[in-house]
Structure formats: C-alpha cells, structure tokens
Amino acid sequence: MARTFTEGSKAVAEVIRVCRPNVVSAYPITPQTHIVEELSAMVANGRLKAESVNVESEFSAASVVLGASATGARTYTATTSQGMLLMTEVLFNISGMRLPVVLTCANRAVSAPINIWNDQQDSISVRDAGWIQLYAEDIQEAADLHLQAFRIAEHPDVLLPVMVCMDGFVLTHSYEPVDLVSQEEADEFLPPYRPEYYLTPKDPLTYGAMLGPEAYMESRYQLDKALRDSSRMIVEVAGEFKKKIGRYQGALIDTYKTEDAEVILVAMGSVLSTIKEAVDKLRDEGGQKVGVLKVRSFRPFPKEEVYSALEGASDVLVMDRAFSPGSGGVLTTEVKATFCGRKSTANIKGHIIGLGGRDMTVESILNVINDRAVVSGQDKVVDLNESLLGGQKL
Amino acid sequence: MGARLVLDAAGPNIITTDATGCLEVFTTRWPQSAWGVPFIHSLFENSAAVAAGIESALKALGRTDEAKVIAQGGDGGTADIGLQCLSGMLERGHDVLYVCYDNEAYMNTGVQRSGLTPFDCDTRTSPSGKASWGNPLRKKDMPAIVAAHGAPYVATASIAYPKDVERKVKKALGIKGPKYIQIHVPCPPGWKSEPALTIKVAKLAVETGLYPVFEMEDGVVTKVRKIPKTRKPVTEYLKVQGRFKHLFKKPGGEKEIKKIQQIADENIERYGLAGEKEPVATTTQT
C-alpha cells in the first residue's frame, strides 16, 4: 500500500491496473477521459498487459467488452452522460447474458441543454439495465470500489456487471491523498477470473438465444433475484476489504451520527461530505440531532437496511442529483417505498439538488434542514434562480 | 443456406457472432440451438464489435490458436444499422471474417427496404404504386466501402455457386486481418419467387451482371466470375420475381427496365465481367 497525492481518475486507473483486466475498451468523453488516457499510457509503457481497444463509439466499447467477457476475459470500460445513454442497449444485453463487466460512470448531466458538469442523471437513467450500481463518496472510495467491484461481479453466485459511479470532476478531476492497493494486495484479494462458461470450440455454447413467452419471464425473474441476492456479496466483499486492506466505507449503506438523530439526510455520492460538514456544524453549534444515511448500493436497493436506518427519525430529507421529469426525485421515490406499510411515521421530503454541476454548499444544506417543515406535494428543487425562470413563480 | 456453406467451409474451430435477424431467430429458439460451434447473438447492430471483442480476448488470453472469429449479419445489420460497428472493426484491423448474407431487404420483419435493396424493387417500405417504381435508390456499394478501409480481402459470392462460397471462406480465413464476404442469398417469400427456382434466380442475378461476383485483394480486383458471352438481358432475372413485376405491368416500365439494364452494363464494364463460357472463372487484372 502506498499513499500518494493524486487525481481521482489516476487513482481509479491505478486500481484497474492492479486488477489485471485482459481487455479494456472505451470511448473518450468528458469527464471520463483522464481514466482512459491513463490506462492507455499504462498499456503503451508496458505497465498494463491488456488489449486496449480504441473504438469508434461507446456503443462499440460496450459491445467489445461484451464479446470479450463472453470469451472469458476480465473486462473494463468507462463512460458518462451521453456515452452511457448510447451504451444503453448493450448494457441491458450484458446483464441479460450475466457477464461480469466492470464500468466506471464519471457521473455527468444529460443533454439538452448540453452540460458537461456533474449530476447523476446518467447512471440513474439506466437503473433498470440490470447492473449493480455502487456510488462513491470520495476518491479513496472510488478507487477501492473498483477492486471490490470485480470481486462482486465475477463471483459465481453473482455474475452480474457492476457500475462504479463517481461524480464527474468533483471526484474524477480533483486531487486527494489516496492509499493505493499494491499489486500483491490486489492479487490476494482478487483471484484470476476463471469462468465456468465462455465461448470456446472445446464446449460450443450458444449465447443470446431467443426465449419465447414460455421462458422469458423466468429469465427476467432470475436476473432480478440475482441482483437482489448480490447484496450478500456486496456486504461480504466490503467486510473482507476491511479485514485485508483495512478500509471500510460502508457496504450497502453507511450511517453517520444517526443513532440518536431526529433528522436524517439521505444521499449518494460526493455531496455526502458536504452534508456531513453541515451535520457536524449543527451538532457542534446547536446540539441538533442530525445524521446522514449514505446509500452506497443503489442497485440492488437495500430496502431493509434503509428502513432500519431511518425508521426512528422524525424527518427524512432525501437529496436527489437526478430526477424523473413529471414525477420527482428517484432516490426519494425509492426511500418512500421502503416506508410503505411500515410503522414509522417519519416525514419524508424529497429535494432535487446540484443538477448540471450547480454547487451544493453547506449553507444550502442548512437551509434544507431548516425548511424541513415546509412541505408541498412536490419534491423541492433547491437553490433555483428565480430570475432565470421567465417570470414563473416558484 | 449461405450460413451452412460458410460453416461447412470454416470447420469446427471458430467462434461466431450473429446480428439479430431471421438466421438468429430460427436457429436459436431456446432450449434448442442449431449451432454446433460457439455462437453469440447480442444485438442487431453490433455483430462486428462483439467479434472484435472476442478476437481481442483470444489475443489477451493467448488463445488465438484456438479459434478463428467469424461475424455474421444480414444486409440491414451490415450496411445500415451495423455499418458503424463494422467500420470500427475494419479500421482497427481485427482478425475477423465478416460475412454478410445479402437478401436485399429486412426480411425478418416482413420485407422492408434496406441499403442493399436493388433499384426499383418493391418492398413494404418502398412499395410500387401510382407515383412510385419501388426503391428509388441503388444498392450501397459495400465491397468498395469495406475495401476503402484497407481490408486485405473483400469478396462477393452467390449461393448459386456453393463451391465458390466455400473456397472464398477458406481463403479469407487464411488471411490475417479483417475480411469481408458478401453472399447473395435469395429470399423466396421476400422476393416473391418460386422456392424451387432459388438457385436459378441467384444464378440469373450473376449472369445478367446485376450481382457481380469478384474478389478484391488489398483493394485490387483479382478475380471475377465471367458472365456468358451471349449476355442475358436483365428481364430474365426480373421477370421470375414478384418484387419486380410492376415493371412489366405498369405503362412506362420498359424505361425503368432500361435503367436496370444500364446498372448491369456498368457492372460488367467496371469489373470486366464480359467474357467466355460460363461457368468457368477466369482471372483478370484491373
């Protein structure tokens, strides 16, 4: 293990390198570029022995890793925003064929209007693609998650693709001291990928067969079950990572000062650190009982864990960095669903925050907490600039 | 039929991909599979990219001796929706043989026009009618597009000449890099032709000059299938198919048939098809 002061993208690339992928294929798109540039450099200077396939689109990047994974290779790709949407058709195919591809999503807003800055609309929009989705809070966690991701994805009980989501720019382009796992540590943690089934003339299998009405539903049921059951492996791998590598950033969820909390904020990704700062401030200055629930695994969604962490609170304030236009915050909807038919009478309030790179400051978080009693039928869109709304009333 | 010829020639040591289409649909209905070789169908437009991934994996895993990679697709999956993935595969130089089964329309979905549908052909999305002679566009020149990528081997073939198909597949598999074979495969329901005449129809396409059969190596035409000295008019090919019958019924059809004859004449000129006795293949340099 070595502590270095490095950029988020470089830290991720270093971890991917020690995971020894056989085939890497990606198409450049901001803010994912630094990751693939770094991996290309590693291949060019011999530090990474992998086939690096420079494709002509994200669609082909996903298709290349699909074909390579089905042939028994450990595969990696990375994308964001429009690239994620272009990959979408293949994403469903990869999970449907139960291929353990690992993908980094450098979370970015989706066009139009075009915007290269951070929110989570891209990965949230493909939540139904059948992939495990894990969200990193900081650079250290983003780096560590990739090693865990391969372990989870390739486990014979799981065999599902994993999307590691890290906020674009905020985590991909900023620098922090990071502890990087060594090759020896990685090799011990992540055994070589030896799939039971793969494309080979020695045992000619058919992948991607057609299933009629008599069997399609069972196949989808099994995908759903596998995804829900992968919770166990996510927890197990996080625990083992703690034991062997010495770091723990949560498993399906993580909690911060929730034991006695009356107000709990719920979020995913890098905004959690800002929220924790606001919580500390309130506890230090006013003795308010405020805490934070970090959702680390969005798919599978840990219903029980989320409810257990929140049931004792009087107010649950959910922060969404993506939404479903015409409905509301997606995480909010999920959190509310966990309370359905339960005893807890907590007020759950949704907030749409930080879209397209809009800063979410400690001040904004404090306002959200102070305004918790103001409830409307809609999720609150935080920090709207009224002067840009052409006279529309908020 | 085309696929069987390709597989017979390729032997067991291959891994093959296929685009969505009737070949995939009728060969892989779970729980059965007609493929005795490792086979993967992913999507409509990514047969070439999936094959590129397979080839890269074989390289990375040191398994290149284990299998040759063959990508397959229909004319729509190749020339239209899959063209970008194919272009990428060709440009990057993957050691893959791409085979396009060209039945000149989207047959799996019920006969809609594709980029390889011939001029004046009646399809469900290019119907003939009072104001239409059918498909207003000529076939996309896929062999030239592939050759322009620098592919070392490009060939067309027809199921009318099965030995030629097999020879080309074997030859292609012996060449390193991206290879492309486009095989003319009649589709009796889509072409509205007699199933019993399938081979005859395919043969007429070649003999009239409408489907030139040739090989290109490193961008140069090295071999063509000559057509009979006494040229057969395109009408002989057109009249045995319902998809062209409007040309013989509507007033003014002769004019359209002349345009089609001109396409055949251009092919004959361009590839040097005019020649001796059929069916002996002879070599010409261009």
B188-208 pLDDT, tens digit per residue, is 999 999 999 999 999 999 999
**Interchain pair A64, B56: CB under 8 A:** yes
Tell me the residue ranges of DSSP E strands in A215-285: 253-256, 263-267
Which residues pair with residue A255 across a beta bridge?
A293
pLDDT tens figures, A247-294: 999 999 999 999 999 999 999 999 999 999 999 999 999 899 999 999
**Interchain pair A64, B24: CB under 8 A:** no
Question: Has residue B173 got a pLDDT over 90?
Answer: yes
Question: Has residue B87 got a pLDDT over 70?
Answer: yes
Q: For residue B267, give the nearest of B240, B242, B231 by alpha carbon.
A: B231
Which residues of B lie inside 8 Å of A (Cβ-Cβ)? 12-15, 17, 24-25, 28-31, 33, 35-43, 45-46, 49-54, 56-61, 63, 66-67, 84-85, 87-88, 91-92
Question: Has residue A104 got a pLDDT over 70?
Answer: yes
Most B CBs within 10 A among A25, A199, A203, hence the mutation to make, goes to A199
Place of tokens 């498909």: B135
Place of tokens 């002679």: B133
Per-residue confidence (pLDDT) for residue B276, from 0 to 100? 63
Q: How far apart (Å, rounded) are the C-alpha atoms in residues A298 and A304?
A: 13
Question: Has residue A381 got a pLDDT over 70?
Answer: yes
A129 inside 8 A of chain B by CB: no
> DSSP secondary-structure letter at B118?
P
Per-residue confidence (pLDDT) for residue B1, from 0 to 100? 83
Q: Which residue of B has its CA nearest to A50?
A: B60
**Interchain pair B39, A65: CB under 8 A:** no
Q: Which residue of A has its CA nearest to B40?
A: A207
**Interchain pair B54, A71: CB under 8 A:** yes
**Interchain pair B42, A93: CB under 8 A:** yes
Phi, psi dihedral angles at A280 (to 5 degrees): -60, -40
Most A CBs within 10 A among B39, B42, B65, B83, hence the mutation to make, goes to B42
**Interchain pair A68, B38: CB under 8 A:** no
Per-residue confidence (pLDDT) for residue A348, from 0 to 100? 97
Q: Which residue of B has its CA nearest to A49?
A: B60
Residue A375 binned pLDDT confidence (cut-offs 50, 70, 90): confident
Find all residues with CB under 8 Å of A200, minimum gap 6, and list them. A71, A72, B15, B38, B63, B66, B67
| Chain A, chain B: beta-carbon pairs less than 8 Å apart | 159
A200 inside 8 A of chain B by CB: yes
Question: Has residue A78 got a pLDDT over 70?
Answer: yes
Question: Has residue B280 got a pLDDT over 60?
Answer: no
Contact B180, B155 (CB under 8 A): yes
Q: For residue A209, give the nearest of B207, B179, B35 by alpha carbon.
A: B35
Q: Which residue of A has its CA nearest to B16?
A: A199
pLDDT tens figures, A318-368: 999 999 999 999 999 999 999 999 999 999 999 999 999 999 999 999 999
Q: How far apart (Å, rounded) are the C-alpha atoms in residues B16 and B50?
A: 10
**Interchain pair B49, A50: CB under 8 A:** no
Cα–Cα separations (whole angstroms), residue B248 to B120, B133, B239, B258: 12, 11, 8, 12
Kindly list the residues from chain B whose CB atom is less than 8 angstroms away from the CB atom of residue A204: 12, 35-39
Question: Has residue B98 got a pLDDT over 60?
Answer: yes
If you average pLDDT over every residue of chain A, what do you get? 97
Per-residue confidence (pLDDT) for residue B286, from 0 to 100? 43
Looking at chain A from residue 304 to 323, which residues have their Cβ under 8 Å from any Cβ of chain B? none
A60 inside 8 A of chain B by CB: yes
Query: How far does A56 lie from chain B, in Å, by closest CA?
Result: 6
Query: How far does A360 lie from chain B, in Å, by closest CA?
Result: 40
If you average pLDDT over every residue of chain B, what do you get? 95
**Interchain pair B41, A209: CB under 8 A:** yes
Per-residue confidence (pLDDT) for residue B277, from 0 to 100? 53
Kindly list the residues from chain A whose CB atom is less than 8 angstroms away from the CB atom of residue B28: 206, 208-210
Mean pLDDT of B8-18: 97
Residue B278 binned pLDDT confidence (cut-offs 50, 70, 90): very low
**Interchain pair A53, B53: CB under 8 A:** yes
Alpha helices per DSSP H over B151-233: 162-173, 188-191, 198-207
Mean pLDDT of B52-63: 98
Mean pLDDT of B230-256: 97
Per-residue confidence (pLDDT) for residue A203, from 0 to 100? 97
Kindly list the residues from chain A whose CB atom is less than 8 angstroms away from the CB atom of residue B35: 204, 206
Tell me the residue ranges of DSSP E strands in A309-361: 315-320, 323-324, 328-329, 347-352
Per-residue confidence (pLDDT) for residue A391, from 0 to 100? 85
A201 inside 8 A of chain B by CB: yes
Place of tokens 């960095």: A321
Which strand (E) or helix (H) includes residue A14?
A: helix A8-18
A114 inside 8 A of chain B by CB: no
